[in-house]
Structure 1
Amino acid sequence: MASQIFFPLDAREVSWETETDQSWEVNEQKSASGKRRAMTYQTLPGWTFTITFPGLTSEKKDDLFAFFSRVKGTLIPFFYKDAENYKCENVVLAKNTDGSYQLVANMHGQQEPIYYADNLHVYVDGVEQGDTSYKLDRGALVFTNAPAATAKVTASYEYYWKVKFAKSKLQIKQKFDNIFQVTLSLEVIR
């Protein structure tokens, strides 16, 4: 697996404001009689995090510009740990057809697959497993020795959203000497 790329600013360490948007692409047609037909190809909603950092230092501003260049704007996806939506406790994991167990996030009642997590604690039938008994592969737990078919696998973890910048332009405003402000949007991708 290629090396992971992580958003350089931790919203829990700098001042921030955030907005979370949910979207659905719906195709709609109306007949002459007024009958409506609508459908969507999405099985999961689109999510966008819009984050305002009102007081970045010059160093953090430079880190953000360098990161934007590294991912070439909207081209390369990366991982972002949101300040609010990032933690799961004692989640019962579903078994995939390949025998792995998918980590998920519960986003406002919507269960979402996630592709990277840390601070991971895994339990099989209530017994914590050592970190050498499994590996994390694109958000799925793969056990060295598979648990029994009837085993209950649970986990607690902090997760990251796989995102890209929503716009190909990054504009940072200088407010005062060594104080900068930026608002940016990150779109969840799968």
Structure 2
Amino acid sequence: MASLIFPLDARRVKWSSSVEQSWEVNEQVSASGKRRAISYQSLPAWTFNIDFPYLTAAEKDQLFAFYTRVKGQLVPFYYKDAENYKVENLTLIKNSDGTYQLVANMNGQQEPVEYADKLTVYVDGTEQSTSSYTLDNGAIKFTTAPADTAVVKASYEYYWKVVFSKTKITVTQIFKNVFKVSLAMKVVR
């Protein structure tokens, strides 16, 4: 199945759009006041709250069709954020299986990426042809593995794997053939 990609250009969002980071923490406090806390998350939860202040009728229809296709909150899809989407010359770490995982860099927090485009890969400073590697779930696998001492770097634009946060979508008409919508999408792994 082809990857589902959010159809609207996130660079057209309103400036007041936001990103939330959250951690679920279980806390117990004893009668003496001693606190015990634990989180079962290894990565933070991210939510993108975005407003599109001006949509055309065609974009509104495209958004409704996409929302139908993913059945609201049911089916995950990929979203390229307006601010957090690009990595330049990042040194990649070699996985135990010999692949190199692409990562998102969100305010210093790095986490695995499943989908990316505009990928350029370098081994010891030399750009690699696209026929010398494959990309599978965000992991680069070389047809001929680089030396263990090789430095592998990459530049790319990444997408966040998300679902809509709400079970319904409301698009408001503000003028003839001009609409606005507010959306929230949470990252899923």
The TM-score, its normalising length taken from structure 1, stands at 0.97
Structure 2 counterpart of 1:53? 52
1:41 and 2:40 aligned: yes
Give matches, 1:8-157, under 5 Å: 8-12=7-11, 14-17=12-15, 18-157=17-156
Letter in structure 2 aligned against 1:100: T
SS of residue matched to 1:170? coil
Deviation at 1:91, TM superposition (A): 0.3
Q: What is the RMSD computed on CA atoms of the aligned residues?
A: 0.8
How big is each residue's C-alpha offset from its partner over 1:3-23, in whole Å with a ceiling of 9 and x where there is no partner?
1000000122x3534200000
1:135-160 Cα offsets, whole Å, 9 max, x none, are: 11000001111111111000000110
1:105 Cα offset (Å): 1.3
- The whole-number CA distance in structure 2 between the counterparts of 1:102 and 1:20 is 24
Tell me the distance in 2 between the aligned counterparts of 1:145 and 1:167. 45
SS in 2 for 1:48: strand
Aligned residues: 188
> What is the deviation of 1:112?
1.2
Look up the match of 2:183: 184
Task: Tell me the distance in 2 between the aligned counterparts of 1:139 and 1:16.
Answer: 29
In 2, the alpha carbon distance for the partners of 1:93 and 1:8 equals 29
Q: Secondary structure at the match of 1:132?
A: helix
Q: TM-score, normalised by structure 2?
A: 0.97
Output the amino acid matched with 1:16. Answer: K
Q: How many angstroms apart in 1 are the aligned matches of 2:105 and 2:116?
A: 14
AA at the equivalent of 1:132: S
Q: Is the 8 A contact 2:13 2:50 kept in 1?
A: no
Matched residues in 2 for 1:167 and 1:132: separation? 41
Unaligned residue ranges in structure 1 (runs of 5+): none
In the aligned structure 1, how far is the partner of 2:76 from the partner of 2:149? 37
For structure 2, the residue ranges without an aligned partner over 5 or more in a row are: none
2-side partners of 1:183 and 1:102: how far apart? Answer: 33
2:14 is aligned with what amino acid? Answer: W
Give distance in 2, aligned partners of 1:126 and 1:92.
11
Identity of aligned residues (%): 63
Give the Cα separation in 1 of the matches to 2:54 and 2:80.
Answer: 19
Counterpart Cα distance in 1 of 2:13 and 2:161: 22
Q: CA deviation at 1:109?
A: 1.1
Going from structure 1 to structure 2, the CA distance change for 1:15 and 1:23 (only over 3 Å counts) comes to closer
- The separation in 2 between residues aligned to 1:145 and 1:154, in whole angstroms, is 16
Runs of 4+ in 1 over 6 A off after TM superposition: none
What is the CA deviation profile of residues 86-136 of structure 1, one whole-angstrom value per residue up to 9, with x for unaligned ones?
Answer: 100000001111100000111011111111111100000000000000011
For 1:147 and 1:15, the matched residues in 2 are separated by 41
